Amino acid sequence: MNDPAIAELKDVRVSYGEVPALEDVSLTVYEHDFLGIIGPNGGGKSTLLKVILGLVKPQHGSVSVFGQSPEQARSRVGYVSQRSFFDRDFPASVWDVALMGRYNNAGILRRYGGRDKGKAEQALSRVGMLEHRSKQIGSLSGGEQQRVFVARALVAEPVLLLLDEPTASIDSTMQTEFYELLEELKHSLTIVLVSHDIGAVSVYVDKIACLNRQMYYHGSREITPEILEATYKCPVQLIAHGAVPHRVLKEH
């Protein structure tokens, strides 16, 4: 028996004007999945997450999340967007950033109550950042900031967590720590993580898919050399050495 389906995309097509981003993408995410989706830059990974969030509407195909429309399901979906980090002087503390995740729960006056603060405290503690709560967000390292962004997503108590390139621009020690955090979180959450970094992702996730406009996915950890080559449009040896040649991709 499979776990229940949490998100289902069928034959989803998205293009931005003339630029195709997703072509007939079908994907089912099941409860308790820790799914990694890899693919080259421009392959449609961010677009796919935005479709699940209801931020991008497909021109064709269907999307359901918890059996509802993405908009209706949004409050149960946590999202850490692909980002550039805050600079040093950004005027918000770690605490402020975490609490922002309660925005939709804060009532009409947008005042945070005891329950909101309790949730923010719990979330920061879960990601190991509670002791840094008073620091300016911009004074933290990339890896620490990323933990705070995860906390911000967690304070709304999502069932599904979407992470867009969460370890880009984090050094490798911090990356390992970050994936260890996800290993813990996956016990209570369904996680979909997208990344162009095959090496890091494939070690930690339970299932892996490849996306380059089209989706290659068999619901397991298996990715064959043929799938990788089809995804990256280049020989597997190059990919394995971390030298995904974007020059080659541009020619397509």
Q: Which residues bind ligand ADP (CB under 6 A)?
A: 16, 19, 21, 39, 41-47
Strand blocks (E) in the chain: 5-16, 19-30, 34-38, 60-65, 77-80, 160-164, 190-195, 207-212, 214-216
Nearest CB to Mg ion, comparing residues 47 and 93? 47
Report the amino acid identity of residue 53.
Answer: L
Options 46-54, 130-138, 154-162, 241-249: segment touching Mg ion (CB under 5 A):
46-54
Nearer to Mg ion, 45 or 132 (CB): 45
Q: How far is the CB of 44 from ligand ADP (least distance, A)?
A: 4
Tell me which residue has tokens 């020989």: 235
Contact indicator for 29, 222 with CB cutoff of 8 Å: no
When the beta carbons of 25 and 124 are compared against ligand ADP, the nearer one is 25
Task: Report the residue from 46, 190, 195, 231 that binds Mg ion according to the rule CB under 5 A.
Answer: 46
CA distance 252 to 244: 14
Rounded Cα distance between 81 and 36, Å, is 15
Min separation Cβ 177 and ligand ADP, Å = 24
Q: Which is nearer to Mg ion, 93 or 195 (CB)?
A: 195
Q: 55 to 114, contacts with Mg ion by CB under 5 A?
A: 82
